[in-house]
Structure 1
Amino acid sequence: MLVPTALICVAVIAAPRWAGGDDLSAAAAAPESPGPRRGPGPARTSPSPAAKPKKTTVKPSATHRPPHIPASGPGTFTVARAGASSGNGNAYRVEVEDGSGVDPDAAAAQVAGILAAPRGWAHAGAHSFHQVADGPAGLVIRIATPGTTDRVCATGNMNTHGEVNCRLSEVVMVNLKRWQQGSPEFHGPLADYRALIVNHEVGHWLGHGHETCPGKGQPAPAMMQQIYGLKGCVSNAWPYDTKGHYLGGPAVP
């Protein structure tokens, strides 16, 4: 969805109420101080002051700092090179907005893995997907800054508020904020939330509508707008469980 994957511990806040859910769909250490400077002549000694406890400031590791999310970008995209894909079926293309900080080929590899996963829409050979770098593609997955996502989605009369994803026909707009930060309502690794984004949006593309929680403690459907809250369900990124059962819920009118 489209909208919005290992985790730093952060304070969990309530998700804001946007006009959409996970989506909208239209169809380093300080430098060492130098030692004391000495002037000419013999060195003098003086009593050492009483030792004082050192104050240590622990800085977060660079690998744990949240990635910078540009508010907007140029609106131009780099197409990922065609790599691994789950089959020769539905042709899709992955594009990443320039200046977003996301590597297109790395993102495409993650998308390919999600589309090929046994718990995804490729379950039991029901669907297959083939990544292309040029030529026709019936599905285009674009990772874009919040500002660009808003502008594109607005052409379909959808207000994504700089926060959520949207889909316009064959184009899925993945909000960079959701791709890089996940959702405060989703309890799981960022990689899983990215899987939820892809599975949710591709589910719409395949004709699935929104669903809601089937019961307390059960997995939230992949087609549920989980960014709005789980309603008693537990976070889940996949359409199917490990035994091949569809993880659905009541349809949302």
Structure 2
Amino acid sequence: MSSTTARHGERRAGPPPAPRSRARADRDGRRRRRIVAATVLLAAGVASVYLGSVHGITGIPGLPDRRGPVATPTAAGESPAPRPTGPAPAPPPTPPPAPTPTAVPESGPGTFTVATAGVEGTGAGRPYRVEVEDGIGVDPDEAAEQITAILTHEQGWSHGGDIVFRQVADESATLVIRIATPNTSDAICATGGLDTHGELNCRVGRTVAVNLRRWQLGSPEFDGPPEEYRALIINHEVGHWLGYGHRACPGPGEAAPVMMQQIKGLHGCVSNAWPYGPDGTFHDGPEVP
């Protein structure tokens, strides 16, 4: 049997593999080390992303920002405002509209009711009577009470006690104060040749005609409520009855004389409803021709 043939039917093994060169072995080692390093770096990156998502750390490109809202810096000693919780607060209620001025009827029946409360049958003083046109929404006795308070006020024409008034309800009155609608007031004033245009008050003879519009609404030129302007109406028109004529503004910043037609403008003066000041000074001004 030849030596090159395997005994008992076995194939003879070929020659043993040649050993690898040292250079190739070095290349394989370096490749394995790079693979291991890349694997370590990849694991570290995954761990960093995980920790960053847990603790709110950002800055890794391509990852969403998982942080909560950033607190606004506050001044020293201040605390940041708490974040609102629960349902949104309801909006504040809408304020009610401003009240509109009292409606004033332009005309009335031309008949009057005489005030009887507070009437003095006898006594000293200049007798006056208060009348209110029917159906205009003004109570005669309440109006008379206000007029009495004006006529007897310490800054009114009774100042110093030289002039005294007494309310009556009969024909003994030498002064009659009538509150009437604009049309009726105009008709009264027209008997004295006056054109009051549905806006102004007047005095004709013994009668003072108070325009209901002025009594209820006051005047846009007067710096005060209608209740105070009523004092100016009565004091001005009773001043005419006492013999006083119109006066002009004495100077800028001065109190307007009660005999000044303040409804036509103050001309630098300050609104005033009384003949006398709190210190007893009479508010006067230049005569109006």
TM-score normalised by L of structure 2: 0.66
1:154 is aligned, of 173, 190, 193, to 190
1:70 is aligned, of 88, 93, 105, to 105
Shift of 1:190: 1.8
Identity %: 62
Return the structure number with greater relative CO, CA threshold 8 A, min gap 6.
1
**Aligned positions of 1:175-190 closer than 5 A:** 175-190=211-226
Q: Could you say what secondary structure the match of 1:140 adopts? A: strand
Match of 1:243 in 2: 279
Name the aligned partner's letter for residue 79 of structure 1. V
- Aligned pair 1:59/2:96, yes or no? yes
* In 2, Cα distance between equivalents of 1:84 and 1:66: 32
1:83 is aligned, of 118, 121, 124, to 118
- 8 Å contact kept, 1:82–1:133: no
* In 1, Cα distance between equivalents of 2:194 and 2:137: 25
The superposition leaves residues 230-250 of structure 1 with CA deviations (integer Å, 9 ceiling, x where unpaired) of 010000000001111101000
Q: Could you say what secondary structure the match of 2:148 adopts? A: helix
Larger Rg: 2
The superposition leaves residues 122-168 of structure 1 with CA deviations (integer Å, 9 ceiling, x where unpaired) of 00001000001123100000000001111121222211111001111
Shift of 1:58: 3.8
- Aligned pair 1:141/2:171, yes or no? no
**Could you list the runs of 4 or more consecutive aligned residues of structure 1 that deviate by over 3 angstroms after TM superposition?**
53-61
Match of 1:172 in 2: 208
Higher helix share: 2
Name the aligned partner's letter for residue 145 of structure 2. A
Match of 1:215 in 2: 251
Segments of 5+ residues of structure 2 without an aligned counterpart are: 1-87
The superposition leaves residues 15-62 of structure 1 with CA deviations (integer Å, 9 ceiling, x where unpaired) of xxxxxxxxxxxxxxxxxxxxxxxxxxxxxxxxxxxx9x779554347x
- 8 Å contact kept, 1:166–1:172: yes
1:125 is aligned, of 152, 161, 165, to 161
* In 1, Cα distance between equivalents of 2:112 and 2:93: 44
Match of 1:115 in 2: 151
The superposition leaves residues 48-92 of structure 1 with CA deviations (integer Å, 9 ceiling, x where unpaired) of xxx9x779554347xx4422200100000010114178x731000
* In 1, Cα distance between equivalents of 2:237 and 2:189: 14
Size of the aligned set, in residue pairs, is: 201
Name the aligned partner's letter for residue 89 of structure 1. G
Match of 1:252 in 2: 288
Q: Could you say what secondary structure the match of 2:173 adopts? A: coil
* In 1, Cα distance between equivalents of 2:214 and 2:207: 17
* In 2, Cα distance between equivalents of 1:231 and 1:150: 26
After superposition, the CA RMSD in angstroms is: 2.0
